[in-house]
Amino acid sequence: MLSPSKTVGRKGGAVVLRRFIGWNRSAAAWLERRFPGIFGAPSYKAELERRIADDIARRSPSAILEVGGIDRPLLERGKGFTYIGLDIEEKPDCYRIYDRFVVQSIEQPVDVQADMLISITLMEHVPDNRGASRSMFLVLRPGGVMHHYIPSKWHPYSVALRLVGPVMQKWLIPYLRPAAVGVTGYPAFFDHCSPSDMAKVFRSQGFVQVDAKPFYRASDYFAFFLPAYVSVALFENLCAALNWRIFCSGFVISATKPAR
């Protein structure tokens, strides 16, 4: 059992740490507002949602499968298609949010047929993305499409995530990114998670019209320490200018199952 003095000392240290991180995050936010061209982040989610919306309007899918959405889906049910969710865990809201919810890994065969498959920040958590892409191919009907956003494995944040590990990550999140508590912290493997590698995996499973668009800004993950935030942002801008896709922060990738 800790003595009262040690307990007070730890609480005091936590308060100082939170204030220090809060100051750094405020300074990073000011830089982003003042210099959005350098520190601002184009919205990968907006690009993903645009691709999904365009294909819904063009294809009128009868069934859409979202993988890894749990109780934070990209779409809403009751929009003219059967909305199916799939995840390795379940929450009570899952059976209200989706028309149907399946609890399993996407790496295994899924007893679902869909015209579209979507995911966001899922595939970095899948140990075997070759097996997952094969399962996705089988889920889709001929001519079906899929759209994903995938964080890229060689961005500084992704490298740091693998070095820190999930146990330390869960301990750090309440201090470094309190808004992400309960949303992130899952083990990340980044299997084939780069634009070129994932495109090769999709093509090897039979997908065509594979299109990956890289995004380069994820320096906000380092906003807890201003020098790191500035350094990563400058590195990201250099990579974007030189089209060094291997160091992108993430990418939106789409692919189509041949009609025949």
pLDDT tens-digit map of 78-98: 999 999 999 999 999 999 999
**What is the distance between the alpha carbons of residues 29 and 36, in angstroms, rounded to a whole number?**
10
Is 138 within a domain? yes
Is 99 within a domain? no
Confidence of residue 114 (pLDDT cuts 50, 70, 90): very high
Confidence of residue 181 (pLDDT cuts 50, 70, 90): low
Is 48 within a domain? yes
Confidence of residue 185 (pLDDT cuts 50, 70, 90): low
Interacting residues of 58 by C-beta distance below 8 A, sequence separation 6+: none
Ranges of beta strands (E only) in 191-249 are: 208-215
Helix (H) or strand (E) holding 13: helix 4-34
- Here the tokens at position 138 are 């089988």
Helix (H) or strand (E) holding 253: strand 250-256
CA atoms within 13 A on the CB side of 43: 7
Question: Environment class of residue 236 by beta-carbon count within 10 Å: exposed (0-12), middle (13-18) or buried (19+)?
Answer: buried
In this structure, of 47-56, 91-100, 179-188, the range with the lowest mean pLDDT score is 179-188
Task: Return mean pLDDT, the chain.
Answer: 91
pLDDT over 80 at 13, yes or no: no
Model pLDDT for residues 51-74, shown as the tens digit of each residue: 999 999 999 999 999 999 999 999
Is 38 within a domain? yes
Q: What is the pTM of this model?
A: 0.89
CA atoms within 13 A on the CB side of 215: 20
Bridge partner list, 15: none
Is 98 within a domain? no
Is 3 within a domain? no
- Here the tokens at position 128 are 């075997």
Q: What is the pLDDT of residue 96?
A: 95
- Here the tokens at position 35 are 């210099």
In this structure, of 23-27, 81-85, 170-174, the range with the lowest mean pLDDT score is 170-174
Q: Residue 172, Cβ neighbours under 10 Å: how many? A: 13
Domain that holds residue 243: 11-61+117-256
Number of structural domains (the chain) is 1
Is 170 within a domain? yes
Is 145 within a domain? yes
Q: What is the pLDDT of residue 9?
A: 55
Q: What is the pLDDT of residue 18?
A: 85
- Is the model more confident about 1 or about 173? 173
Q: What is the pLDDT of residue 173?
A: 66
Q: What is the pLDDT of residue 220?
A: 85
